[in-house]
Homo-oligomer: A and B are copies of this chain.
Amino acid sequence: MDFIDYLDSRPIYQQIADRYKQLILTGVMEPDEQLPSVRKLAMELSTNPNTVQRAYAALEREGYVYSVKGRGNFVRANDTLKSKQKEELKGKMKDLIKEIQAVGLDPQELFAEAMEEAAEDDRD
């Protein structure tokens, strides 16, 4: 379970944060469930504790997690997270649509083709 990709352009701390956001939003991790300790996760990913700490701090700032000194980090039960996430993704989609329109292509067509290809990838 080593989800750091050094070829990924995102910084490591953000890859970690994004990974846990996904685990939380998809319900793989349940409210009040404890995240691995900073040091332990750092060992597992063979990265530096500071880097994990930074990821956890970001998760706490954005409301995905609450942290109790001396005890650990825990998943926050927050119903608003999903809608927040949806708005964020919709924003990304809007940006992409505008980029497509700016070069004179048809977003609808590209979307349809991309859906097709994504489905194919899934079958692999």
Number of copies: 4
Q: How far is the CA of A96 from the CA of B91 in the complex (A)?
A: 11
Is the C-beta of A36 less than 8 angstroms from some C-beta in chain B? no
Residue of B whose beta carbon sits closest to that of A51: B70
Question: B96 and A110: CB pair below 8 A?
Answer: no
Give the total of A residues in contact with B, Cβ under 8 Å: 43
Tell me which residues across on chain B come within 8 A of A74, comparing CB atoms.
6
Q: How far is the CA of A22 from the CA of B68 in the complex (A)?
A: 23
Question: A86 and B110: CB pair below 8 A?
Answer: yes
Q: How far is the CA of A99 from the CA of B44 in the complex (A)?
A: 25
Chain A positions near chain B (C-beta within 8 angstroms):
6-7, 11-12, 21-22, 25-26, 61, 66, 68-71, 74, 76, 85-86, 89-90, 92-94, 96-105, 107-108, 110-111, 113-115, 117-118, 121
